[in-house]
């Protein structure tokens, strides 16, 4: 009988995508998906290291696996991803029942490492400092029929002082435009209508292979692929986000009117200490430039609250920036000190209750602004892509606008199927979704 696998993914879309590759590799070897971790022959944790609570969760999960493994000898437990990169040998020191620990730059090694661990009967720990094979060249098992992640760049060359990503993901490596286009064409012929381009710093896409950033060129080239309807991307870094990319967004009929531009803080003083290479004013100029060039643009962001040394005045600057931009949505994070980062060793960490109080204020402000932005849509007509039946409410479909807003639409006769485009009139708004009805 064939063996089965189960993967639990933490962290960002890049990790989701890496998990699809791990699944693809295992399926080529004859493995099939298991219904639960308890029933799987191979259990993989694809981990994230961006904030500290991830560490505790992994070791908690591994504790549970120890008990399951005692009842099912022969089962293999694997730890991959960014936290594996950070902890390396420490993983097997803390959890000696783990069979394989591997990194983000040697995903292709997974089947071989499983075999080696089985033969040797001891944990196998293997990492690679450089990207061996672009994961995009590996087989994949996608989570959706109509949407696909497409990695265009791995690693990050920036050195934001709060961030662990460069140390766990390595330096930037871009794929060639022709390779990306080839993959997208294959996906479209397989039924995909929407792709999300992934990279830590997509604006600098291409610099390492072409000597100059080519992200705008890539966006324009994607416009010519028949059958491809929507292109999204994440994340651009504000430092390198310039007019050619905004113009390409406007010019291309497939690139969606949504920009995720992580600001982190509204205080120029803190931005400098974060080494973000832009001031509040430069960031705002980029926002106005993008709004001017791309009509109907929705803008979202990432914000960190409680970076070391953050004063009430710095935080007030973040609050006022959020009001000034009027984001459609913001992902807000409480600062978490990371080992090996410049900010992680600072002695002026902001006390937890102060961070919590500021975080709550920011969240409340953003909820109000998100609701306002969504209420502005009520009465309007929009094109949506159907993602499938609503998970929570039977008889309704979950759909998405080009601006990346969720719209719930009544679907009594099940006419709206995954992958269909429809026109809807927006009837009601909430902070995180819209309600709509079919037009015509």
Binding site for ligand SF4 (CB under 6 A): 156, 158, 160, 163, 165-166, 200-201, 237
Residue 327 in 3-state DSSP? coil
Q: Which does 82 bind (CB under 5 to 8 A by kind): ligand SAH, ligand F3S, ligand SF4, none?
A: ligand F3S
> Among ligand SF4, ligand SAH, ligand F3S, none, what does residue 333 contact (CB within 5–8 Å per kind)?
ligand SAH
User: Whole-number minimum distance, CB 110 to ligand F3S, in Å?
Assistant: 17
Q: Which of 377, 437, 383 lies closest to 410, judged by CA?
A: 437
List the one residue from 25, 44, 48, 148 that touches ligand F3S (CB under 6 A).
48
Choose among ligand SF4, ligand SAH, ligand F3S, none what residue 304 binds, the Cβ cut-off being 5 to 8 Å by kind: ligand SAH
Residues in 348-377 that interact with ligand F3S by CB under 6 A: none
In whole angstroms, what separates CA 87 from the centre of its chain? 22
Binding site for ligand SAH (CB under 6 A): 50-51, 162-163, 165, 200-201, 235, 237, 262, 264, 302, 304, 333, 335-336, 338
Exactly one of 169, 207, 276, 405 binds ligand F3S (CB under 6 A); that residue is 169
SS3 325: helix
Contact between residue 12 and residue 49 where contact means Cβ atoms under 8 Å apart? no
**Binding piece for ligand F3S, criterion CB under 6 A, among 162-170, 269-277, 342-350, 432-440:** 162-170
Q: Is 221 exposed, middle or buried (0-12, 13-18, 19+ CB in 10 A)?
A: middle
Nearer to ligand F3S (CB atom), residue 331 or residue 421: 331
Element (H, E) at 410: strand 406-410
Q: Which of ligand SAH, ligand F3S, ligand SF4, none has residue 377 at its interface (CB below 5 to 8 Å by kind)?
A: none
With CA atoms as reference, report the closest residue to 208 among 175, 233, 255, 242: 175
Cβ proximity to ligand SF4, 332 vs 401, nearer residue: 332
Which residue's CB is nearer to ligand SF4, number 43 or number 163? 163
- Alpha-carbon gap, residue 434 to 428, rounded angstroms: 6
Give the up-direction half-sphere exposure of residue 121: CA atoms within 13 A in the CB hemisphere.
1
Burial of 212 (0-12, 13-18, 19+ CB in 10 A): exposed
Buried b (16+ CB within 10 A) or exposed e, 108-119: bbbeebbeebee
Q: Residue 79's binding partner, choosing from ligand SAH, ligand SF4, ligand F3S, none, with beta-carbon cut-off 5 to 8 A by kind? A: none
Instruction: Please give the residue whose beta carbon sits closest to ligand SAH in the complex.
Output: 302
Q: Does 316 bind ligand F3S (CB under 6 A)?
A: no
- Check residue 275 and report its DSSP letter: T
- Please say which residue, 161 or 375, places its beta carbon nearer to ligand SAH: 161
Minimum CB distance to ligand SAH smaller for 152 or for 304: 304
């Amino acid at each position: 009988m064939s063996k089965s696998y189960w993967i639990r993914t933490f962290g960002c879309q890049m990790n989701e995508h890496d998990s699809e590759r791990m699944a693809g590799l295992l399926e080529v070897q004859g493995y099939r998906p298991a219904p639960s971790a308890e029933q799987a022959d191979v259990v993989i944790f694809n981990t994230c290291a961006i904030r500290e609570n991830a560490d505790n969760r992994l070791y908690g999960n591994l504790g549970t696996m120890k008990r399951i493994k005692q009842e099912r000898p022969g089962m293999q437990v694997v730890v991959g991803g960014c936290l594996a990169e950070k902890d390396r040998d420490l993983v097997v020191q803390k959890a000696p029942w783990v069979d394989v620990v591997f990194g983000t730059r040697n995903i292709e090694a997974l089947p071989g490492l499983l075999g080696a661990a089985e033969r040797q009967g001891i944990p196998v720990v293997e990492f690679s400092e450089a990207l061996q094979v672009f994961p995009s060249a590996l087989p994949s098992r996608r989570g959706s029929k109509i949407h696909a992640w497409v990695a265009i760049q791995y690693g990050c060359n920036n050195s934001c002082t709060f961030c662990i990503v460069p140390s766990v993901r390595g330096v930037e490596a871009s794929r060639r435009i022709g390779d990306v286009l080839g993959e997208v064409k294959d996906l479209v012929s397989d039924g995909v209508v929407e792709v999300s381009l992934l990279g830590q710093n997509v604006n600098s896409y291409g610099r390492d292979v072409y000597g100059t950033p080519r992200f705008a060129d890539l966006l324009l080239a994607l416009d010519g692929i028949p059958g491809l309807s929507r292109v999204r991307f994440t994340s651009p870094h504000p430092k390198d986000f310039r007019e050619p990319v905004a113009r390409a967004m406007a010019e291309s009929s497939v690139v969606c009117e949504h920009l995720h531009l992580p600001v982190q803080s509204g205080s120029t003083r803190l931005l400098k200490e974060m080494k973000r290479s832009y001031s509040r004013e430069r960031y705002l100029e980029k926002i106005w430039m993008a709004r001017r060039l791309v009509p109907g643009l929705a803008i979202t962001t990432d914000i960190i609250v409680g970076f070391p040394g953050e004063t009430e005045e710095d935080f007030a600057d973040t609050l006022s920036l959020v009001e000034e931009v009027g984001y459609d949505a913001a992902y807000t994070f409480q600062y978490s000190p990371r080992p090996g980062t410049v900010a992680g060793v600072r002695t002026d960490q902001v006390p937890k209750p102060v961070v919590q109080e500021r975080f709550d204020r920011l969240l409340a402000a953003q909820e109000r602004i998100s609701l306002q932005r969504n209420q502005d849509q009520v009465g309007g007509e929009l094109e949506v892509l159907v993602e499938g039946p609503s998970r929570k409410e039977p008889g309704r479909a979950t759909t998405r606008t080009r601006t990346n807003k969720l719209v719930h639409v009544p679907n009594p006769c099940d006419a709206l199927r995954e992958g269909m485009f429809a026109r809807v009139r927006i009837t009601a708004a909430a902070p995180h979704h819209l309600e709509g009805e079919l037009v015509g």
